[in-house]
Structure 1
Amino acid sequence: MRKLCILYTLIFLMIALLVSGVFFIFRNSSDSIPIHNTGHTISESSETQTEATIVETAASAERIPIETEQPHKAEIVFNFMGDCTLGNYKGEYTEGRFSATADAVEPEYFFEGVKDILDKGTFNITNCEGVLTDNPLEEIYKDYDPAYWFKSSAKNAQIFSVSGIDAVGLANNHIGDYGQDGIDDTKSALEQYGVKWSDNDTPIVLESDGIKVALFCVETWDDVVTSGELLNQIQEYSETTDLQVVFFHCGTEYIHYPDAHKIEYAHQFVDAGADLVVGSHPHVLQPIEVYNDVTIVYSLGNFVYGGNTHPENRTIVYTHKFTLENKKIVDSSNEIHPCYIFTGEMNAFQPTLIEDETDKQIVLDFMNGLLDSPL
């Protein structure tokens, strides 16, 4: 009986030791086992890893390039041509003269010889020197001799529109040949065919690719010039437009150099803020000057000219390109395209580019002031 008690005691002690050992092992191992039902285990190593991730993310953010706003860049290309008289002396209808020719050909005919140049222009501009009307108007009295009056049908305004002419100047000495009614009829005809016009009293604003151009078409014997009002207008428009261009009718006819007063006016326009100055009226070419980094073309001569059968047979298309960034001029360049006014025995009212290299170079040298005549 005593042996049996000792045996039970030993068994009890062994069980107690076994239970104590299992408890000890479980307790120690539980210190390193994550408690998954909480969702997270926070330890020193995980905190270090989080900090490293934050640093890496910040460094990555520093390496991401920041997009900067690109400057708005635009190119504006002007094509200027000289005096266009789409009519005859007193509107007479004679075979071989302008009105009869206009009835016999398509309206695209007249500018067809320079179409490739005009197609590349932003704004194509010329001088409309004559009256477009279908009304039986009387010519005004002129107290000098010889005197001329020019007109033709209002439908001839479409010659400008189908040829890509965007705007014409009406500030000249023939727009008033048939009084105020003739002026009004001409404006109406141009508007009917979508051609913009400018005169002494009406600057216009042309716009392309966000660039606004103020165009001032004036004749220098008008009050707007002689009073200095044009200079104020140029300065005022410079606050709301990006380019200011003056197309002025001035000077002595049939001479190849600008008068002193013409030079003075052109310089005043530039000093007031004009970015380009282009002249007409002499019916012949006059050279180019660069004054205070601004180009002045003193005369473009004639172009599609119905005024007579044998005008001086040299003219140009003058191309001027402005490059702007954020509406500020960063580059300015030009190109002269020498043309014949006619290529047959007499004026057929269709200027064409000069292909003869000698004739072409003479015109270029003249326009750049190297020769006294373009012929």
Structure 2
Amino acid sequence: MRGDTSSCAIRRFLVAVLLCFGVVGGATAGAKLDDPTVSLAFVGDIMLDGIPGDTVKGERDPFAHFARILDAADIRIGNLECVIASEGRAERKPFTFRADPRTVNVLKGHFTALSLANNHTGDFGRAAFSEMLNLLEVQKLSYFGGGRNLAEAHAPLLIERNGLKIAILGYNEIFPRSFEANHDTPGLAWSEDEQVITDIQNARKVHHADLVIPFMHWGLEHEPHASARQRRLARTMIDAGANAVIGGHPHVTQDIEQYKGSPIFYSLGNFVFDGFKDEDNITGWLIRLEMDRKGVHRWQLYVAHIDHQGIPHPASPKARSCWQRGQRVGAICG
């Protein structure tokens, strides 16, 4: 793990998170929860090329330090910031990421599903992308935000746990749009406001989901604050029926906002990713949501510190912030 992150520094970091969240208000601890409930864990960018990929080839687990926290959730979701394939040719772009097919087994050990809606799953073309879909399906590792055609890319991932049906949607809005799915062409789900609204509404009306969560790939790289575009779209999605909004892409964590009782995590930052040195880039979040039919009734934020090999470590076993229904702001817990 890189450096010594003191408890005071971590505490200051979490205080900054909570100041982004809102003003201090009263809490109703111990409020009775509606049954049933479900827990979901979300992490940001997972890139298994480079050193993290070598870690897997060496039969080591890059997620080992967070295994206990991940495995404690009913549903575990991450953003796969690479293509997993053995074929394909690199696109003409500054950075291209392709992971070895052996990484699927490691991902399967920790994740329920992965978002494919980002600017790197198309790095080696459509043949490599299609190979990845086959690899994930053989291992029964679910995915969303991408597919073999437009309808599949925009279809919600539906997961039933504890008597609740959860719909998870994924969208990319990082240009260029060259890897967008078409009616008969594999690719990603692109973020068009009207289509996103329709998808959220259909998740409830057509698929009868109790809970809907969009996972967005958006914003500006290395920018610690969400853009006006992100804020408008996040609120639009909640108005359309989303219970929470999760985001990524900037390679840094961004603001947390509460809108109409629903949390918005604009960027979770990196999770498994090498090649960064700045403190902001090697700090990521794992978010655990606890939900009932009304939406999120509690969340917890765990801070990840990413070492020089791109491997995340808990910044401190006690360093986390949390919120529960009835509070206007989170609190440092631990």
Please tell me the TM-score bracket, short chain as reference: 0.7 to 0.9
SS of the equivalent of 2:290 reads: strand
| Structure with more helix by fraction | 1
User: Is 1:225 equivalent to 2:194 in the alignment?
Assistant: no
Gaps of 5+ in 1: 1-70, 89-96, 371-375
Give the match for residue 301 of structure 1. 269
Shift in CA distance, 123/255, structure 1 to aligned 2, threshold 3 Å: same
Correspondence list, 1:1-375, <5 A: 73-88=35-50, 97-106=51-60, 109-135=61-87, 137-142=88-93, 147-162=94-109, 164-200=110-146, 201=153, 202-220=155-173, 224-239=190-205, 240-306=208-274, 308=275, 310=277, 312-323=281-292, 328-329=293-294, 332-342=297-307, 346=308, 348-355=309-316, 360=319
Alpha-carbon distance, 1:153 to partner: 1.1
Native 8 Å contact 1:288 1:369 kept in 2: no
Larger relative contact order (CA 8 Å, sep ≥ 6): 2
The CA distance in 2 between the partners of 1:224 and 1:168, in whole Å, is 16
SS of the equivalent of 1:187 reads: helix
Alpha-carbon distance, 1:226 to partner: 2.1
Native 8 Å contact 1:155 1:189 kept in 2: no
Alpha-carbon distance, 1:112 to partner: 1.1
Alpha-carbon distance, 1:274 to partner: 0.1
Native 8 Å contact 1:246 1:276 kept in 2: yes
Structure with higher Rg: it is: 1
SS of the equivalent of 2:76 reads: strand
Give the match for residue 59 of structure 1. none
Shift in CA distance, 278/105, structure 1 to aligned 2, threshold 3 Å: same
Shift in CA distance, 293/227, structure 1 to aligned 2, threshold 3 Å: closer
The CA distance in 1 between the partners of 2:235 and 2:165, in whole Å, is 23
**Deviation readout 1:238-267 (Å, 9 max, x if unpaired):** 121110000000000001100111111111
| Count of residue pairs the alignment pairs up | 270
Alpha-carbon distance, 1:309 to partner: 5.2
Partner amino acid for 1:188?
A: N
Shift in CA distance, 331/301, structure 1 to aligned 2, threshold 3 Å: closer
Partner amino acid for 1:233?
A: D
Partner amino acid for 2:239?
A: D
The CA distance in 2 between the partners of 1:317 and 1:280, in whole Å, is 12
TM-score, scaled relative to structure 1:
0.67
Alpha-carbon distance, 1:350 to partner: 2.5
SS of the equivalent of 2:266 reads: strand
Partner amino acid for 1:110?
A: P
Partner amino acid for 2:124?
A: Y
Alpha-carbon distance, 1:341 to partner: 1.3
**Deviation readout 1:155-202 (Å, 9 max, x if unpaired):** 11111111x200100000001111111211121222222210001523
Shift in CA distance, 351/330, structure 1 to aligned 2, threshold 3 Å: closer
Aligned structure 1 segments of 4 or more residues deviating by more than 4 angstroms: 221-224
Native 8 Å contact 2:219 2:226 kept in 1: yes
The CA distance in 1 between the partners of 2:233 and 2:221, in whole Å, is 17
The CA distance in 2 between the partners of 1:177 and 1:149, in whole Å, is 5
SS of the equivalent of 1:181 reads: helix
Give the match for residue 21 of structure 1. none
The CA distance in 2 between the partners of 1:225 and 1:150, in whole Å, is 22
SS of the equivalent of 1:321 reads: strand
**Deviation readout 1:75-129 (Å, 9 max, x if unpaired):** 11010000001113xxxxxxxx2332221133xx211111111121011000001
Native 8 Å contact 2:104 2:136 kept in 1: yes
Structure 1 vs Structure 2 CA RMSD: 2.5
Gaps of 5+ in 2: 1-32, 147-152, 178-188, 323-328
Give the match for residue 58 of structure 1. none
TM-score, scaled relative to structure 2:
0.75
SS of the equivalent of 1:255 reads: coil
The CA distance in 1 between the partners of 2:111 and 2:95, in whole Å, is 26
Partner amino acid for 1:138?
A: R
Shift in CA distance, 132/350, structure 1 to aligned 2, threshold 3 Å: same
Partner amino acid for 2:86?
A: D
The CA distance in 2 between the partners of 1:86 and 1:100, in whole Å, is 8
Shift in CA distance, 212/99, structure 1 to aligned 2, threshold 3 Å: same
Shift in CA distance, 356/113, structure 1 to aligned 2, threshold 3 Å: closer
SS of the equivalent of 2:63 reads: helix
